[in-house]
Each structure stands twice: as structure tokens, then as C-alpha cells.
A and B are shown apart, each in its own frame.
Chain A
Amino acid sequence: MKRKVSLFISIMMVLLLALTGCGGGSSGSGDAATDPIKIGWIGSLTGDQAPWGKCESQTVQMLIDETNAAGGILGRQLELVALDTKGDANEAVNAVKRLVSQDKVCAILGPNASAQALAITGVLESAGVSDIATVATNPKITVNDDGSVNEYNFRVCFTDPYQGAVAAGYAADILKYKKAAILYDVASDYSQGFMQYFIETFEAKGGTIVAKEAFKAGDTDFRPQLTKIKKADPEVILMPYYYKEVALSANQARDLGIKATLMGGDGWPSDTLFEMAGNSLEGSYVVNHFDYNDPDVKPLTEAYIAKYGTTPEINCYMVHDAYKVLLAAIEKAGNADPQAITDALTQVEVKGVTGTIKLGEKTHNPEGKEAAIQKIQLNPETGEFEYAFMQKYGAN
């Protein structure tokens, strides 16, 4: 028995050594002018957020390949170090610690969720390396409660208050709805934030929230809550959560005979959504970051499909713009020094696929970007559902 154990331990040791060897090989790069510039990415490659994270990291890899093929930047090649966070805040901190100290990246892209972006603030500050979040919409990531800005946190997306206000404003002012119901995920930060700001704006505009029902992440059956919502008879139901639950709840709502318009945010867009619940979602409105049919957007979609064979998630477009901002900042800084890049991030203006991006000095959020309102419609020519662009809409 004892021999077996020592054998086991020695195998473990060899394994550890081999692994540390791997780790050692990739580190130790200096900042010589010919070495590749390292860019970090963090996000979920495993866990339930993995569909978004995977798409995001693939997009960055594709873009870096493109840049390298075109001769790189500042005469140097780019290299991606992508680390998994399992969608977990703790793992995100570990990953960032490794990226800034061992891999010595010049800046970090991602993560794709607010909690991770909030958790890494302290590490970024102590290391002096910047992070550009993609779809992390919690306002506190960049601006604290007291109005001070987190020096190394940036983002290219709008925030929860903005998204909530746009959805509520559009429902109340343009669609003229007076009675809204909300179904939300009690365990999701995204869902709670969106809901809270929707209610604030919708009530300020004279509307009433007739029902506010919750489910818990992991649930697949929403009929008890929907039955209750049906009784409250709303004109519009806000569904501020991700597309799997959206598809299920929309189908179940229609099964129960609910006719109200459905409305959602940037957690919705996905092809899978139509596959699962196209009919149920016809006529629904989505607050999105951009319009899919925009001529600026299409080439990226096509490039992604050509390379990976699937249609990209929304993260593809967001990380594309984050990447462009970063490239412009590296160019402006003239070197790969993290501090110089941080200083340059608010100085550059980039035309991305989701609009012109200019990160504000006082907010570190993109300034003057309007949301795109889309309606889900059946295209009579192709017989497929699509996001029909309604208008650009800003909250005020």
C-alpha cells in the first residue's frame, strides 16, 4: 500500500514539474523591441457562460492573426494569452495576477461578465495594467459610488442604468405602453441591475409595474411565475436575462396564452434563440449595442463564420471594438508600456463596428453611443427570423 502511495506522489510530482516547466517556457519574455507584444484575455471558457467566452476569445485570436498577417503593430507581432475564469470572480483574480506578472501582458481584454470585472479592480490597480471589459454592464466597474473613476478599468459597452433606461423609455415613449411586467433572475447581477433601472425610468414616465416575478438561475420552468403575470395583464413583459431562459420563458408564455409584447436586452441576441423560440418571439423588441445589418458590422460576421463555421455571439462585436481601441492606444503610446497604454486609451477615437468609440476620461465608458432598438420579425423572403433595425435610441 505504502509503495503505491509513494508511486502516486511521485507521479504527481513529475506532473507538477512538467507543468511548471510548461509555464516557465512561456514566461520570461523581456520587453525587447523585437519580441511580440502580449495581449491578455480573460473570460469563461468553461462554466455556464462558456458560449459567450469561447466566441470572444476566438474573435480576439482571429483579429490578432489578421493584425500579424498585416505586419503587426509598431513593427512587432502580437501574441494572445487567453485564460479561463470559469465565469468565477475568484478565478478571474488568479488569471489577471498571472497575466500581469508572469505573462507580462500590456493590457487585458474581457471579461464578459460584470462580477469578474469588479473583482479584478484591485489587482489591476496594484499592477498598473488596464482592462477593457466587453459586455460587463455594471456601472460600478468604471465609476464608484462616490463618483471616482477606477483608473485601470475601461469598457466598450453601455451600462445597466443606460440599458434599463433605454428599454423603459422606448416602451413608454415610443410604444406608449403603460403596464409592464417583469420576470427576472434573482441570482443574476445582470438581471437585477437591468430590472432596477427599468423600473425607475418606467415609473418616472408614468407607467406602472403590474407584476415583478423572479426565478433562479438554473430553472427551466417559468410557468408558475408567468401564470401570475398573465393574471396581471401587462402590455409588455421585460425579460432581462440570457437567451436560453428567454427562449424557454417566451415559449411557455405563449403556451399559457400570454399575448403581451416581450422586451429584452443584450443578453438576447443569438441564433439559437430563433431556433428555439422564433415563433414565440415574433414582434419582440431588443435593446442591442448595434445593428446587425449595418454595413460596418457585416464583414466581421462573415469573417467569423468563414473561420469558425458558426455565427458569432454578440461578444464577437464588442471584443472587436475593444481590440481596435487597444490597438489605437498602443499605436498612440508608441510602445507596449502598460501605463502609457492606459494613458492613451482615453485619448484615441476609433470607428468600431458598434459605432464610434471614444472612452470618456471621467467615466471610462464609451461616450455618446446610442443603443440600437431591434424588432424580431419573420423575413418573408427567406422564411427566417431576423432582427429588424428600428432606430437608434438614447436615454436622456
Chain B
Amino acid sequence: MSVFLQQLINGLSIGSIYALMAVGYSLVYSILNFSNFAHGGVIMLGAYIGLYALHLLPMSFLGALVIAAFGAGLIAVVLEKVAYSPLRKRNAPSLYFIISAMGASIFLENLVIATIGPTFKTYPQIFNPIPFTFGSISVSRIDVLMFVIAAISLAILVFIIEKTKVGLAIRACSYSSRGSNLMGVNVNRIIFVIFLLGGMLAGIAGMLFGMKYTVYPQIGVITNKSFIAAVFGGLGSLPGAVVGSLLLGLIETLSSAYIASQYRDLIAFTLLIVVLVIRPSGIMGKITEDKA
């Protein structure tokens, strides 16, 4: 039983990292309807920004977190201006956005390798590394912290989207950006806000990821998992992204614990296909009908 509980905690902890990454990705999807594959690159840069903020400036953890968030948000906005905005103006199909995003992700990863270097970097030890233990179950402090920060940032995000005027505009755009535009919503500004918010979440996710594990140029690879999680939950749906992520974390953990760790991803992918066959728009995704 205690092993099962430990595995449950392991799964939730892995899932919450996926969640932080998946929400930013889903946010962009909800408005622009394309998979922002450069999101992983922004997360990676967020991790580096947080690292250097801590190393170079006399900075508290929270200060560095804020810098990482805004730094990554800025990068995401610039990325949007350079790589997506020209496409948007031409109403290009989402395929082109995806390719552009892939180019950006190759660019960012290798830019870091060429400038900062390929070696792994570590965050300074900020928190007590000794885990909380309950009997034979252990929970690391950083996991608890991550969970709290993830919850707070997601709560803020939900507040912005549900309670503010900008949020109303975002929700309107996610239904129909052309319609909102006609109603006087400045879609360009909304997209700016979306990328800023998504980038900030990426920065926070990156820094927490870096603190928990380590910082290296290929962090972006792990975000493939969060894309899958977002699809599980339903693209474009924020609660879906969270649910999908936690679910994916649990599936991965339990399948390596009770079936075979060699085939963990195979099991996860098979389940993904099963979910999609039953519910083609994921667990909580909006069902889109083709409009002729």
C-alpha cells in the first residue's frame, strides 16, 4: 500500500510539471488554433534566465522567479512578432505556424548551445534538500513548493481570464477571433497578452523545472510530453490541460510501476489513441464542427 501511495505521489508530481508546461501551450492554442512547438524553447530560456538571475544578481528566489517569468514572457512576445505575426496577417493555415514554430525551437535550442554552451548547469541549493517523510513515503520539498506555485499561478491566470476585461476579450477571441474583431476587440492586443501570459507561465515552469532537476539546452524535449498531455485533456481547454497532465503523469508512473518500465511510453501512447478514438477532442476539448 505504501508503495502504491508513493507511486501516486510520484505520478502527481510529474504530472504537475507537465501541467505548468501544458497550460501555456493550451492558452496559445485556444486563440490561434495551432500547436506552438516553440513553447519548449521558451521554457528552456526561462530556466536559464532564472539561473543567471540567481547567480549574477543578489536576488531572492521570488525575485528570480519574477524575472524568469517576465523574461520568458518577453521572449514569447518577440517570438510572436517575428515568427507568427507575419503569418497571421496573411491568414496562413495553421500548418505554416507549426513549421515556423519548429524552426524557432531549433533556433532557440542551438542558439543556447552556441552561446552558453551545451553543458548542464545547476541551480544553487535554495531549499532544504531533505524530503518530508511519512513512514516510508517521501515527498520532496521542492515538489510541495512547485505544487503551490503552480496552483497560485494557475489561479491568477484563471482570475485574469474569468474576471477581468482582458479575460473577457480572450474568451471572446477563443470562440471566434473574427467575430470579436468585428465587435471592437483589438485582436492584436489580445494575442500580445496571450503570448505574454503563456511566456510567463513558461518562465515559471522552466525555472521550477531547472530547480527540481537541472538546466540544459534540450529541456524543450520534455515539453513533447506536455503537448501530449494537452491533447489528452483536450486542446485549447485550460482545465483540460491540467487534468490531462496529471492523468498522463499518473499513467506513466503506474505503468512503469505495475506493467513494464521499458514500455512506459508505448502504454501511454496507446492510451492516448484509445482516448482519442472514444473522444476525438480529448477529455475536455471543445467539439469543433466543420463549417463550410
Which positions in A face B, CB cutoff 8 Å?
A: 46-48, 50-51, 54, 186, 213-216, 218, 220-221, 223-225, 227-228, 231, 244, 247-248, 251, 255-257, 272, 275-276, 279
B257 touches A227 (CB 8 A): yes
Contact between B113 and A46 (Cβ–Cβ < 8 Å)? yes
Tell whether, in the assembled complex, residue B120 and residue A272 are in contact, meaning their CB atoms are under 8 Å apart: yes
A50 with B118: in contact, given A225-B256, A225-B261, A227-B257 (CB under 8 Å)?
yes
B138 adjacent to A224 (CB under 8 Å):
no
Tell whether, in the assembled complex, residue B122 and residue A255 are in contact, meaning their CB atoms are under 8 Å apart: no
Query: Does B252 interact with chain A (Cβ within 8 Å)?
Result: yes
Nearest chain A residue, comparing its CB with the CB of B252:
A224
Q: Does B271 contact A (CB under 8 A)?
A: no
Task: Across the interface, name the chain B residue whose C-beta is closest to A248.
Answer: B213
The 17 sampled A-B contact pairs (Cβ below 8 Å) are: A47-B118, A48-B118, A48-B216, A51-B118, A213-B261, A220-B213, A220-B222, A221-B10, A221-B17, A221-B213, A224-B7, A224-B254, A224-B257, A227-B7, A255-B131, A257-B138, A272-B120
Question: Which 10 A/B pairs are nearest by Cβ-Cβ distance?
Answer: A50-B118, A223-B10, A224-B253, A214-B262, A220-B213, A224-B256, A51-B119, A213-B261, A214-B261, A218-B221
B10 & A227 in contact (Cβ 8 Å cutoff): yes
Taking A224-B252, A224-B256, A227-B7 as known contacts, 10 extra A-B pairs with beta carbons closer than 8 A to each other, sorted by chain A number, are A46-B118, A48-B118, A51-B119, A54-B117, A221-B213, A224-B7, A224-B10, A255-B131, A272-B119, A272-B120
Quick check: A216 and B264 within 8 Å, CB to CB?
yes
Complex: A213 Cα to B252 Cα, angstroms: 14
| A46 in contact with B110 given A218-B221, A224-B10, A256-B138 (CB within 8 Å) | yes
- Which chain B positions have C-beta within 8 A of A225? 256, 261
Q: A213-B261, A214-B261 are in contact. Are A244 and B138 (CB under 8 A)?
A: no
Q: Do A227 and B3 touch (CB < 8 A)?
A: yes
Nearest-CB residue, chain B, relative to A225: B261
Main DSSP-derived SS at the A contact region? helix
- List of A residues within 8 angstroms of B115 by Cβ: none
Taking the closest CB of chain B, its distance from the CB of A162, in whole angstroms, is 25
Expressed in whole angstroms, the Cα–Cα distance for A276 and B122 within the complex equals: 6
Q: B1-38 CB contact bits vs A (8 Å, 1 = yes)?
A: 00100110011011001000000000000000000000
Across the interface, which residues of A come within 8 angstroms of B131, CB to CB? 255
Interface string of B194-231 (1 = CB under 8 A from A): 00000000000000010011101010011000000000
Closest to B256 in A: A224
Q: Number of contact residues on B: which range applies?
A: 35 or more
Complex Cα distance, B267 from A224, in Å, reads 15
Residues of A within 8 A of B14 (CB): 221, 223-224
B218 and A256 within 8 A (CB):
no
Residues of B near A228 (CB, < 8 A) are 3, 256-257, 261
CB proximity of B54 to chain A, nearest CB, Å: 15
- In the assembled complex, the CB of B258 is this many whole angstroms from the nearest CB of chain A, namely 9
**Complex Cα distance A345/B133, Å?**
58
* Cβ of A232 to closest chain B Cβ, rounded Å: 11
Contact flags B95-128 to A (C-beta < 8 A → 1, else 0): 0000000000000001001100111101000000
Complex CA gap A110/B258 in Å reads 41
Point out the residue from B120, B133, B261 that lies within 8 Å of A224, measured CB to CB: B261
Complex Cα spacing A225 to B3, Å: 11
Closest residue of chain B to A227, judged by CB?
B6
Q: In the assembled complex, which residues on chain B have CB atoms less than 8 Å from the CB atom of A51?
A: 117-120
In the assembled complex, which residues on chain A have CB atoms less than 8 Å from the CB atom of B252?
A: 224
| List of A residues within 8 angstroms of B110 by Cβ | 46
Q: Is B136 an interface residue (CB 8 A)?
A: yes
How far, in whole Å, are A390 and B136 apart by their CA atoms in the complex?
A: 34
> Which chain B positions have C-beta within 8 A of A248?
213-214
> Within the complex, what minimum Cβ distance (angstroms) separates A252 from chain B?
8
Contact yes or no, B3 A231, CB < 8 A? yes
Tell me the complex Cα distance, A247–B120, Å: 11
Provide the residues of chain B in CB contact with A50, threshold 8 Å. Answer: 113, 118
B residues in contact with A279, CB < 8 Å? 129
